[in-house]
Amino acid sequence: MKEVFKTIKWNTTISALICIGAGVALFVWPDLFTLMACRAIAMLLIIVGAVHLVSYLLERREGFRLQADLAIGAVLFALGLWMTFSPGFFISLIPLVLGAVVLVHGVQDIRYGLSLKKTSYEYWWTAALFGVFSVLFALVMITNPFGSASALTMLVGVALIYDGISDIWIVSRLSRSARQFSRNVADHFQSFTDTKDGVVYTAKDKDVTEEDID
């Protein structure tokens, strides 16, 4: 369980740092960064598509895998070319895509806040509130009430920065609460001892839940 939580913590932290970095870039260079990101993705799609097509051409055997290489390669290559020569459409999708990401993070933060409540963390509602604000940011990004594309892109940058910082804060509180809960469990078990045979726990004593600790 400890290793699973550590993995979640590091994954969340890395994701949050990426969000902060992308958010700063979008806020400082809204037009330039989106165009560069679109071209980079297009180039990646072209390369991956070309690899699949070359793999198909080099193989002389027939089979489902080769047909799949041909189909995947053609689609990715064509999509990459489309993004290269018509980036405007794909740039317009960035707020929608990133809005969906922030929305998922917001819902996740609300769940983390409720988890903190179960561990009796006093300010659990702060984490839940961070999640609510992330959801609101996401809805604004998706609905796009702004007339200016640059203004929306800068808002996306601010939302990503906020989302990353709030995720780091929440996961740090979760880590601290988890350590405190483990110590409480250990203290609870240590309170049950048998002076004859050393430490002995009954079946009832072993069944420790969060409600017992609270």
Residue 46 has a pLDDT of 92
Other CB atoms closer than 10 Å to residue 25's CB: what's the count? 17
Residue 146 has a pLDDT of 64
Residue 147 has a pLDDT of 62
Question: What is the C-alpha separation between 37 and 26, in angstroms, rounded?
Answer: 10
Helices (DSSP H) in the chain: which residue ranges?
2-28, 30-58, 64-85, 87-118, 124-143, 149-190, 203-206, 210-213
The token pair that represents 116 in the structure block: 């903190």
Taking only the tens place, the pLDDT of each residue in 158-183 is: 888 998 898 888 888 777 776 665 65
Residue 171 has a pLDDT of 82
Terminal-to-terminal C-alpha distance of the chain: 21
Residue 4 has a pLDDT of 56
Phi and psi (nearest 5°) for 145?
A: -80, 0
Question: What is the C-alpha separation between 47 and 53, in angstroms, rounded?
Answer: 10
Taking only the tens place, the pLDDT of each residue in 130-145 is: 889 889 988 888 887 6
Question: What is the C-alpha separation between 35 and 86, in angstroms, rounded?
Answer: 11
Taking only the tens place, the pLDDT of each residue in 75-92 is: 999 999 998 888 888 888
Which among 117, 132, 103, 133 has a CA at the least distance from the CA of 174? 117
Place of tokens 């740039």: 91
Other CB atoms closer than 10 Å to residue 118's CB: what's the count? 14
Place of tokens 């097509």: 53
Other CB atoms closer than 10 Å to residue 143's CB: what's the count? 11
DSSP state of 121: -
Report the length, in residues, of the chain. Answer: 214
Q: Enumerate residue ranges in the chain where pLDDT < 70.
A: 1-6, 8, 60-66, 145-148, 178-214
DSSP SS3 for 62: coil
Domain-wise residue ranges, the chain:
2-187
HSE (CB half, 13 Å, CA atoms) of 110? Answer: 11
